[in-house]
C-alpha cells in the first residue's frame, strides 16, 4: 500500500518568514495530494491540493509543488503569520479501481513566533 513520509516533524519560524514542509510517497499510481491544517482541538481543514497532472498550484500565501518523478510534494507558506501555527498533514490518494482512501503523513507542527 501507499506510504507517505513527512518532514520535518516540527518547524519553528519567525513571523514573515517562509515555511516549507516536504512529503514523499511510495505509490507511483497516487494522483491526488491534499494538505490539511489542524488547529488544536479542531478538525483537519483542507487548505490546498494538487493533482498529478499539475506541477504547481498557488493560493495566496500558500503553494504546493509536485515532482512525480521523484515522488515528492511540498507545501510552501510565505509571509507566515501567528495564525498559521498549527499541525499540517500531507496525504496521498491512489485512484486505482474503487480505492478512494487517503494515506496521511505523520504531521508537522508549525510554530510561527511573533
Partner 1 sequence: SAVISQKPSRDICQRGTSLTIQCQVDSQVTMMFWYRQQPGQSLTLIATANQGSEATYESGFVIDKFPISRPNLTFSTLTVSNMSPEDSSIYLCSVWGQVSGYDFGPGTRLTVT
The burial of 32, by beta-carbon neighbours within 10 Å (0-12 exposed, 13-18 middle, 19 or more buried), is given as: middle
d(CA 102, CA 34): 9
70 in contact with partner 1 (CB under 8 A): no
Residue 89, strand partner residues:
36
- State the minimum distance, in angstroms, from the CB of residue 55 to partner 1: 19
Nearer to partner 1, 74 or 107 (CB): 107
Alpha-carbon Rg for the chain, nearest whole angstrom, is: 14
Nearer to partner 1, 9 or 67 (CB): 9
- State the minimum distance, in angstroms, from the CB of residue 107 to partner 1: 5
Q: Which residues bind partner 1 (CB under 8 A)?
A: 32, 34, 36, 42-46, 49, 89, 91, 100-107
Amino acid at each position: 500500500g501507499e506510504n507517505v513520509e513527512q518532514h520535518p516533524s516540527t518547524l519553528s519560524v519567525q513571523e514573515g518568514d517562509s515555511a516549507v514542509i516536504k512529503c514523499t510517497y511510495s505509490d507511483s499510481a497516487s494522483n491526488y495530494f491534499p494538505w490539511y491544517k489542524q488547529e488544536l482541538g479542531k478538525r483537519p481543514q483542507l487548505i490546498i491540493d494538487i493533482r498529478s497532472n499539475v506541477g504547481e498550484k498557488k493560493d495566496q500565501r500558500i503553494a504546493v509543488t509536485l515532482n512525480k518523478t521523484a515522488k515528492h510534494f511540498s507545501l510552501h507558506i510565505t509571509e507566515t503569520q501567528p495564525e498559521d501555527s498549527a499541525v499540517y498533514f500531507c496525504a496521498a490518494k491512489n485512484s486505482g479501481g474503487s480505492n478512494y482512501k487517503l494515506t496521511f503523513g505523520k504531521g508537522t507542527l508549525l510554530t510561527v513566533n511573533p
